[in-house]
Structure 1
Amino acid sequence: MRIRIALSAAVTALGLLFLLPSVAHAHGDTLKVVVTGQRAGHVTTEITWENDGDAVDEAVSATVNAVSVDGTRTLGPWVLVRDPAAAPAGWTTAEVLPPGSWKVSVDVGFPALGHGELEVGVPVVDPAPGTAGGTGTTGAPAPVASAPAPAPTTASGAQSASAQSAMPPSSPAPAPTASSAAEGDAVWWTTAGVAVTALAGAGVGLLLRRRRLRRRLG
């Protein structure tokens, strides 16, 4: 059983070896590689059979190299992958060229030999209008009216106001009454009477002294 499987595989391989030359002979011996430019930095190419212009159905083994125009930078080697936007003959790169001018070369080794090159310019992509630093701007917000600030009050003013509110209202001085007036009159008359009595006593004493002197002298 194993021998039969091995023989079948060998026969199939030999058949493919005979078919490949016939396929290559039908399309030709070389590939036509045209570098069409770039799309968003991805190198784009078209690969066809040079003999009949048919698209390549097989997988393509190719390398892509890029050199800056001034020769200071090199990129690659990259591989080509199918370009769904340009099928069936379109091929592109998964990698992206940075902005600048590049000399791009593509070398194909399978299923046949092919070469293509082109100077490709990748422009600098400006940010979309209305964006700054990668974030959209919708304009400055409308100003919000702020409530007026209360008038400042000093600590001393607040303390004086609180002290005034805490103090009881002052009452007016009481008016003089009739009893107090009468008492003042009585005191005045008493003082006057004492003074009159004193004067009278002094006069009487003076008269008595004069009489005694007259008696002694007479």
Structure 2
Amino acid sequence: MRIRIALSAAVTALGLLFLLPSVAHAHGDTLKVVVTGQRAGHVTTEITWENDGDAVDEAVSATVNAVSVDGTRTLGPWVLVRDPAAAPAGWTTAEVLPPGSWKVSVDVGFPALGHGELEVGVPVVDPAPGTAGGTGTTGAPTPVASAPAPAPTTASGAQSASAQSAVPPPSPAPAPTASSAAEGDAVWWTTAGVAVTALAGAGVGLLLRRRRLRRRLG
């Protein structure tokens, strides 16, 4: 029983080996590889059988290499994966080309040989307007109305009243002291003495004149 199963598996494997060349021969022995460009930095290609233009149903073994136009940078090798946006003949890369101009080459080794190349330009993507550093949209700041100054409360009024009461009242004018009064009296007496002296002098002068007149007349 086991021998029969082993023989059946061997016959099936041999049949597949003979069938694959016949399938490949039906489509041809070369692939048409067209590098169509890039989408968001991902290299996009279309791979078909060169003889009949059919899409490749089986897996594709390919390498993708990219060289900058000035030859200073190289990327790859990358592999191709199915492109769901361009099925059934679409293939793309999981890796992303940085912005710039690149000479992209694609070499396919299975299920048949194929080659394609193209100069691809990846533009610089500017951030969406109104965004900064991945944050949401930012508009002009909304002006905030300033709150009115709070009315003085009873406690603050009491504090102001107590502060006013704490200010000392203006001091009255100083009363005249004894020394100032004595100085005033001295000035008065001096003035009176001068007046009396003047009157006495005038009286003495009159007496002297009368005596002189009497002498002259006598």
TM normalised by structure 2 equals: 0.69
Are residues 149 and 7 of structure 1, via their aligned partners in 2, closer, same or farther at CA, if it must alter by over 3 Å?
same
Give the SS at the match of 1:108: strand
Are residues 126 and 186 of structure 1, via their aligned partners in 2, closer, same or farther at CA, if it must alter by over 3 Å?
closer
Question: 2: distance between equivalents of 1:82 and 1:92?
Answer: 6
Structure 2 unpaired stretches of 5+: none
Give the SS at the match of 1:3: helix
Are residues 16 and 197 of structure 1, via their aligned partners in 2, closer, same or farther at CA, if it must alter by over 3 Å?
closer
Give the SS at the match of 2:80: strand
Runs of 4+ in 1 over 4 A off after TM superposition: 148-161, 163-218
Give the SS at the match of 1:189: helix
Quote the offset at 1:137 in angstroms.
Answer: 2.8
Larger Rg: 1
TM normalised by structure 1 equals: 0.69
Q: Residues 16-59 of structure 1: CA distance to partner in whole angstroms, max 9, x if unpaired?
A: 11111111111111001000000111100000111111111111
Quote the offset at 1:178 in angstroms.
Answer: 30
Are residues 209 and 157 of structure 1, via their aligned partners in 2, closer, same or farther at CA, if it must alter by over 3 Å?
farther
More deviation, 193-202/159-168 = 193-202
Number of residues of Structure 1 aligned to a counterpart in Structure 2? 218
CA contact (8 A) 2:130 2:139 kept: no
Q: Residues 134-181 of structure 1: CA distance to partner in whole angstroms, max 9, x if unpaired?
A: 223342232222234579999999988416558999999999999999
Question: 1: distance between equivalents of 2:106 and 2:179?
Answer: 134
Identical residues among aligned pairs (%): 99
Are residues 81 and 152 of structure 1, via their aligned partners in 2, closer, same or farther at CA, if it must alter by over 3 Å?
same
Structure 1 unpaired stretches of 5+: none
Are residues 157 and 107 of structure 1, via their aligned partners in 2, closer, same or farther at CA, if it must alter by over 3 Å?
same
Question: 2: distance between equivalents of 1:97 and 1:172?
Answer: 95
More deviation, 207-216/172-181 = 207-216
Q: What is the root-mean-square deviation in Å for CA atoms of aligned residues? A: 9.5
Partner of 1:36: 36
Q: Residues 43-80 of structure 1: CA distance to partner in whole angstroms, max 9, x if unpaired?
A: 00000111111111111111111111111111111111
